[in-house]
A and B are shown apart, each in its own frame.
Chain A
Amino acid sequence: MAKIFIPTMLQKLTYGVKQVELEARNVRQVIEQLDGLYPGMKDRLVEDGEILPNLAVAIDGDVATMGLLQKVGENSEVHFVPAIGGG
């Protein structure tokens, strides 16, 4: 089961739950399942069919480059972290 870390600001939707374990093959499925468990989650993570512009998804510490299509491993850690560019 993949371990999903709920961002602090979204833990209101999960009634304080900080981590959820899900069987999901990609980020899209992670978010769909989160939204099923905690309605409203998808609207807080997705905009115009993509991850929120100022967010990035990290799978096992690697920032996903394929957005919602990024594969999630059986025992992956999934985080929603700030998007970072640079100068």
Chain B
Amino acid sequence: MTSNQVLSEVEYDVVGKRPVRPDGVDKVTGRAQYGDDTNLTGTLRAKVLRSPHAHARIKFIDTSKAEALPGVRAVITAKDLPFASLSKKELGGEYTSLKFASDHMMASDKALFKGHPVAAIAAVNAHVAESAMALIEVDYEVLKPVVDVREAMQDGAPLLHEDLRTNDMGETGEKPSNVATHMSYSIGDLDKGFAEADLVLEKEYTTSTVHQGYIEPHNTTAFWNSDGQLNLWTSTQGSFQVRGTVASILRLPVSQVKVTPMEIGGGFGGKITAYLDAICAVLSKKTGAPVKALMTRTEVFEASGPAPASWMRVKIGVKNNGKMTAVETEMAMDAGAYPGSPVMQAIVCAFACYDVENGKVDGYDVVDNKPKTAAYRAPGAPQAAFAVESLIDEICAELNMDPIEFRLLNAAKEGTRRIEGLVARRIGLVECLEVARDHDHYKSKIDGPNGRGVACGYWPNRGFQSSVVMTVNYDGVVSLLMGSVDIGGTRASIAQQTAETLGIGYEDVKPTVVDTDSIGYTFITGGSRTCFATGLAAINAAEDVKSQMISRAAKIWDTNEDDIEYVAGVVQHKSDEELKLTFKDLARQLATTGGSVSGRASVDPSGEGNGYAVHIADVTVDPDTGKTDVTRFTAVQDAGKAIHPSYVEGQMQGGAVQGIGWALNEEYFFDDSGKMMNPTFLDYRMPISLDLPMIDTVIVEVANPGHPYGVRGVGEVAIVPPMAAVGNAVSAATGNRMRSLPITPGKILEADWENGKS
């Protein structure tokens, strides 16, 4: 029995419906153009030589033999890149030093993870390029690596960067450290809060490095024209971020770089960082030819950005009636080779589901000899939720209290002040909990070797900049141009918001994702922001169109604009019922009333969407093998307004599935030398459809007051609760509390043995 429910509060004509996606035909017929489909005349193929060591000093690189190989057109090393300073820039959605960004793209003095680029080759084909890689001689001084976040924090741990000192909110540490940043926030009186508690529990949790697992590997094609213009065709979540990164690293004005985003075969946060673009650009400049690079799956695992491993300590105090009196956490996440883990997001999200007067959160961003981590849906929040929601489950068991009733008693609501200080506006956590409590799944019985777990989660959903341009064609069809790359159906959802605002049909809006020369700055498709912020830009641009259409009608009727109104796609005189034109009829008269009408808008909304979700998971654990099967799963989420409910359900189901993989299977295995031992999909176990039940969804719609249709954003929070929900279910089934992800059969059996169960 599966179901998808939408609990709508407001009905619209186009918004909230489920039209066919505009890019659907191209995608199901194989005609959609992905990055690797870019084939310019004379394109060379690039290959990247990568460090075999996780930590090594590069003493010298000799490329002469490779350069002499017939078919090789160019070889580059870090020496071919401009000098990069330690000054910081916003690159790929995060602030980092140019030296770190440049060194990440190609190591200059040290290789900091296995797979770190040290040289790159452009050749007439990939086979020649691969042959040439074997001819490059690199002399390494191999250094001891560190690949565990807590070990990396210890005094005496191998240092990755001799000049890196801990930044304690603007205060720099005295000695070099792998702890790049420490941040702390608090509210109320922690000691008083714990003193008031009848029960205080404190536990530690760990999670492993995991990958987003997008199907399409990173790829790019670069052509540095002789007029100085650099063109890039790439698979990315943010064409403007690629432009900014490449321009900064190569010291170019941004207008000299044009990025065309191709269709994207999955990203989940991992397609924000530009790994290959500047490399191919420099090779193209050297050769005068287009250069294309495509990562192998092993390169994707070893050298793109996974989500961080984490160590977390959580302490919670409660009264006997279940009311929380104090909360505290320390969270450390590894950033990989260069600073920038999402631990600060983790500490913001950790207790955001709860209204608690006394709390303290500390976050540590730690470098170690792993690939530099990247964003992965709600970066940092899933790990934090695993720890906090697991401890809450233990507290509920101690108090013999229903886990949803406990959460309802303590739930954040409008007016709740979070630990970092912000006060919640209208949010939908209570509504989600009530729906979960009353759901058939939660009310059904469960027994035997089965267990049920519940968890909730939060993600802020901040806005950022978006731009939209739309033009009314003379047949009444609106061409809609946007800079947001379409990962999860945003062509459709932005077109729906446009159509709703203009009062026209969805089929009369033709959305196109365009290059960086064709639209104003637009931030990444990520952070659950696109349907919200780009949607807001589309609504504003549509309002611009409406006012111009009124102006044209005023010309035709020789009347004042103030006497005309725009109602549901019809332009009409307020007092003369005879004067009325549909959008299409008026569009046909544009050519004779001044020409085309274009609307445009750039927005930078400052509010938060505030996404909340509650998940219920049932599992069966085989007592002999420790294998866990998820037998039933229900995801409840406040979407604010589901513009296209099918895509929202897809995001909820996808987040749950990725979370189940994170909970039960997925992890990077490193050997003592820091080498990843499982860099293929055969050995890195992601769940497939045979491993999973259908994920039931319930969309709750508590409108976001900061968006005309109430949109909150949906992609991120869907992955926040599932690891905790599954972990709590496994603990219920086995009687053993699992505090380390992934919860493998081995860990379950070990816990049984430790508890003398078998």
* Residue ranges of A at the interface with B (Cβ–Cβ < 8 Å): 5, 7-10, 43-45, 47-48, 52-55, 58, 61-65, 77, 79, 81-87
Asked if A84 and B184 make an inter-chain contact with CB atoms under 8 angstroms apart, the answer reads no
Q: Does B599 contact A (CB under 8 A)?
A: no
Asked if A7 and B422 make an inter-chain contact with CB atoms under 8 angstroms apart, the answer reads no
Asked if A86 and B462 make an inter-chain contact with CB atoms under 8 angstroms apart, the answer reads yes
Asked if A86 and B528 make an inter-chain contact with CB atoms under 8 angstroms apart, the answer reads yes
Residues of chain A within 8 A (CB-CB) of B670 are none
Q: Does B460 contact A (CB under 8 A)?
A: yes
Known contacts A81-B420, A81-B421, A86 near B185 by CB under 8 Å: no
Residues of chain B within 8 A (CB-CB) of A48 are 87-88
Q: Separation in Å of the B738 CB from the closest CB of chain A?
A: 25
Known contacts A5-B421, A81-B348, A82-B347, A87 near B171 by CB under 8 Å: no
Asked if A47 and B93 make an inter-chain contact with CB atoms under 8 angstroms apart, the answer reads no
What is the chain B residue whose CB lies nearest that of A78?
A: B421
Asked if B378 and A86 make an inter-chain contact with CB atoms under 8 angstroms apart, the answer reads yes
Bound Cα distance A52, B172 (Å): 13
Bound Cα distance A12, B209 (Å): 35
Asked if B528 and A47 make an inter-chain contact with CB atoms under 8 angstroms apart, the answer reads no
Q: Separation in Å of the B36 CB from the closest CB of chain A?
A: 23
Residues of chain A within 8 A (CB-CB) of B170 are 10, 43-45, 47, 52
* Contact among B422, B459, B608 for A79, CB-based, below 8 A: B422
Bound Cα distance A55, B360 (Å): 18
Q: Does B557 contact A (CB under 8 A)?
A: no
Q: Does B344 contact A (CB under 8 A)?
A: yes
Residues of chain A within 8 A (CB-CB) of B171 are 9, 44
Known contacts A61-B423, A64-B606, A85 near B379 by CB under 8 Å: yes
Q: Separation in Å of the A77 CB from the closest CB of chain B?
A: 8
Asked if B184 and A8 make an inter-chain contact with CB atoms under 8 angstroms apart, the answer reads yes
Q: What 0/1 readout, one digit per residue, does chain B (446-460) give for beta carbons within 8 Å of chain A?
A: 000000000000011
What is the chain A residue whose CB lies nearest that of B185?
A: A8
Asked if B422 and A61 make an inter-chain contact with CB atoms under 8 angstroms apart, the answer reads yes
Q: Does B73 contact A (CB under 8 A)?
A: no
Asked if B377 and A54 make an inter-chain contact with CB atoms under 8 angstroms apart, the answer reads no
10 additional A-B pairs beyond A62-B606, A65-B604, A86-B379, beta carbons within 8 Å, are: A9-B171, A53-B90, A53-B95, A55-B169, A63-B463, A82-B183, A82-B347, A83-B95, A85-B527, A86-B461
Give the total number of A-B pairs whose CB atoms are below 8 A apart.
Answer: 117
13 contacts between A and B (CB under 8 A): A8-B360, A9-B171, A52-B170, A61-B422, A61-B608, A63-B607, A64-B606, A77-B423, A82-B345, A85-B526, A86-B269, A86-B462, A87-B526
Asked if A62 and B607 make an inter-chain contact with CB atoms under 8 angstroms apart, the answer reads yes
Asked if A54 and B93 make an inter-chain contact with CB atoms under 8 angstroms apart, the answer reads no
Beta-carbon contacts under 8 Å, B344-383 to A: 344-345, 347-348, 360, 363, 374-379
Q: Separation in Å of the A10 CB from the closest CB of chain B?
A: 6
What is the chain A residue whose CB lies nearest that of B271?
A: A87
Asked if A84 and B528 make an inter-chain contact with CB atoms under 8 angstroms apart, the answer reads no
Q: Does B425 contact A (CB under 8 A)?
A: yes
Q: Separation in Å of the B229 CB from the closest CB of chain A?
A: 29
Asked if A54 and B268 make an inter-chain contact with CB atoms under 8 angstroms apart, the answer reads no
What is the chain B residue whose CB lies nearest that of A46?
A: B170
Asked if A9 and B526 make an inter-chain contact with CB atoms under 8 angstroms apart, the answer reads no
Q: Separation in Å of the B512 CB from the closest CB of chain A?
A: 24
* Contact among A10, A43, A84, A87 for B377, CB-based, below 8 A: A87
* Contact among A44, A63, A77 for B608, CB-based, below 8 A: A63
Residues of chain B within 8 A (CB-CB) of A83 are 95, 344
Q: Does B565 contact A (CB under 8 A)?
A: no
Q: Separation in Å of the A87 CB from the closest CB of chain B?
A: 2
Q: Does B277 contact A (CB under 8 A)?
A: no
Bound Cα distance A48, B170 (Å): 12
Bound Cα distance A87, B378 (Å): 6
Bound Cα distance A64, B425 (Å): 17
Q: Does B543 contact A (CB under 8 A)?
A: no
Asked if B422 and A81 make an inter-chain contact with CB atoms under 8 angstroms apart, the answer reads yes
Asked if B87 and A54 make an inter-chain contact with CB atoms under 8 angstroms apart, the answer reads no
Residues of chain A within 8 A (CB-CB) of B461 are 86
* Contact among B88, B378, B423, B465 for A53, CB-based, below 8 A: B88
Known contacts A44-B169, A53-B88, A65 near B347 by CB under 8 Å: no
Q: What 0/1 readout, one digit per residue, does chain B (69-95) give for beta carbons within 8 Å of chain A?
A: 000000000000000000110100111
Bound Cα distance A47, B423 (Å): 27
Q: Which 4 A-B pairs have the closest CB atoms?
A: A86-B527, A87-B269, A53-B95, A44-B170
Listed residue (A8, A10, A45) with the most chain B CB atoms within 10 angstroms of its CB: A8
Residues of chain A within 8 A (CB-CB) of B272 are 87
Q: Separation in Å of the A41 CB from the closest CB of chain B?
A: 9
Residues of chain B within 8 A (CB-CB) of A58 are 421-422
Bound Cα distance A44, B167 (Å): 10
Residues of chain B within 8 A (CB-CB) of A45 are 170
Q: Separation in Å of the A19 CB from the closest CB of chain B?
A: 10
Bound Cα distance A38, B341 (Å): 31
Residues of chain A within 8 A (CB-CB) of B270 are 87
Q: Does B315 contact A (CB under 8 A)?
A: no
* Contact among A47, A54, A84 for B462, CB-based, below 8 A: A84
Q: What 0/1 readout, one digit per residue, does chain B (601-640) give for beta carbons within 8 Å of chain A?
A: 0001111100000000000000000000000000000000
Residues of chain A within 8 A (CB-CB) of B604 are 65
Residues of chain A within 8 A (CB-CB) of B376 are 87
Q: Separation in Å of the B178 CB from the closest CB of chain A?
A: 17
* Contact among A7, A61, A65, A77 for B169, CB-based, below 8 A: A7
What is the chain A residue whose CB lies nearest that of B343?
A: A82
Residues of chain B within 8 A (CB-CB) of A8 are 184-186, 360
* Contact among B88, B94, B182, B421 for A47, CB-based, below 8 A: B88
Beta-carbon contacts under 8 Å, B200-227 to A: 212
Beta-carbon contacts under 8 Å, B229-288 to A: 267-270, 272
Asked if A61 and B527 make an inter-chain contact with CB atoms under 8 angstroms apart, the answer reads no
Asked if A63 and B606 make an inter-chain contact with CB atoms under 8 angstroms apart, the answer reads yes
Asked if A86 and B348 make an inter-chain contact with CB atoms under 8 angstroms apart, the answer reads no
Residues of chain B within 8 A (CB-CB) of A54 are 95, 181, 183, 344
Q: Separation in Å of the A6 CB from the closest CB of chain B?
A: 10
Q: Separation in Å of the B465 CB from the closest CB of chain A?
A: 8
Q: Separation in Å of the A66 CB from the closest CB of chain B?
A: 9
Q: Does B600 contact A (CB under 8 A)?
A: no
Known contacts A87-B269, A87-B527, A9 near B606 by CB under 8 Å: no
Bound Cα distance A79, B87 (Å): 26
Listed residue (B185, B376, B463, B526) with the most chain A CB atoms within 10 angstroms of its CB: B185
